[in-house]
Structure formats: structure tokens, C-alpha cells
Amino acid sequence: QCRGTEEDPVDFWKTQIRKSVSCDINYGIRFTKKEEVLQLMTAIGTELERKLTDSKTSAGSLTLKLMVRSADAPLQTAKFMGHGICDTFTKTCNLSVATNRGETLTSESMRLYAKVSPKVEDLRGVGVTCGKLKSKIKKDAATAVQEMFGIGRKEEIGRNPVNPRSKKTISSNLREQDEDDDRDMR
């Protein structure tokens, strides 16, 4: 993956249930104005919307992770434009309604950013994780149970026809039981 190649099988995310979707950027972050932070959060929100749409899910919670330059860390990092030594701050909120809209994710991310309120110049990394994913593909309980247990049952019934005369019906069983009860009372 370091060369931009995808190692997962083509249908991997169609068969596996995701627990979270995230987007993290911690290289090349050097801002001077809060508008630049808003622009980055908008881009992250758009990317998360695309990922949530692809996985056919919506987010129930949002976690913001901020990497802020540590007070004792030098302004110039060892790696050019790297994040260097940082303090990590994490804030989480539950969304009132599960969503996959980028605008909503961006506004909630900015609200959480305002709670931490780091110096814009010291910001070195931003990550947003969507959790408590809810699937947009709804299956009713009967379909889920049939898929789980009923796949082989239909074939067995079709292959082994049952003689309808050999089985007694419920009403005939009840009549026989009533007759037995009447005999016992005599």
C-alpha cells in the first residue's frame, strides 16, 4: 500500500462489516488561519461522505483527533513537514441522527475543534473517525433467519416429498383426544 496499490480483494468491503470509517492527515499540516482548518475539515468531511456512501452506512458518532505540537518540541521537525513531537487530543460526540452527509460531519468536527481550541500554528495532524455505523441496507428478521437457517431446508423438502395421508392433521388429533376424554368420563 505504500506504492498506492490496493491489496484487499475487490469485494472485501462488500463481505466484511465495517465498525468505523476514518480519515487522518498528519503530514504537511502547517496553517496560519482558522479558514484553512475549515477548508481541511470540509475536505475530510467530503472524503468521509464518499467512504460512508461506498460502504452503505451512516455514522452514529464522530471522534476528532488533533495532533498539536508539544510545548517543548522545536518549530522545525526532523522530517520536513512531518508532525514531530505532538500532544494528542481526542473529543467524541454522538450524533442525534445517524448521517453520512459531509456537511453535517464537517460542522460537528468544527464544533469539537472549538472545544479543544488549539493554536492554529501548532496544529500538526487532524483525524476524524465515524463510529457506531448503521447499515442502510435493511433486512427484515424473517429474511435474516431464512438466510441463516433456511437455505438447505427448502431443498430437503423438495427432494423428500412427504405422503400427505400419513400425517394426521391437527383437527383430527383434537377429535381423537376429545373421544378419548369422553370414554374416560363414562
Residue 108: per-residue pLDDT: 95
* Domain span(s) for CATH 3.30.1490.100 in the chain: 12-135
With a cut of 50, say whether residue 153 has pLDDT above it. no
Residue 155: per-residue pLDDT: 45
Residue 17: per-residue pLDDT: 76
Residue 83: per-residue pLDDT: 77
Work out whether strand 57-69 and strand 86-99 pair parallel, antiparallel, or are unpaired: antiparallel
pLDDT band at 172 (very low <50, low <70, confident <90, very high): low
Taking the C-alpha atoms of residue 113 and residue 127, their distance in angstroms, rounded to an integer, is 11
Q: Hey, what's the torsion of the CAs at 101, 103, 108, 113, to 10 degrees?
A: 140
With a cut of 70, say whether residue 112 has pLDDT above it. yes
CB neighbour list of residue 27: distance below 8 Å, 6 or more residues apart: 81, 82, 83, 125
Residue 149: per-residue pLDDT: 65
Closest CA to 104 of 132, 65, 62, 134: 62
With a cut of 70, say whether residue 161 has pLDDT above it. no
DSSP letter, residue 146: I
Taking the C-alpha atoms of residue 95 and residue 103, their distance in angstroms, rounded to an integer, is 13
Residue 157: per-residue pLDDT: 45
Burial 137-165 (b: 16+ CB within 10 A, else e): eeeeeeeeeeeeeeeeeeeeeeeeeeeee
pLDDT, average across residues 38-50: 95
Helix intervals (H) in 55-169: 102-116, 141-145, 151-159
pLDDT, average across residues 33-42: 93
CATH of domain 12-135: 3.30.1490.100
pLDDT, average across residues 73-88: 79
Residue 156: per-residue pLDDT: 43
Higher pLDDT: 86 or 185? It is 86
With a cut of 50, say whether residue 152 has pLDDT above it. no
Q: Hey, what's the torsion of the CAs at 12, 16, 22, 26, to 10 degrees?
A: -50
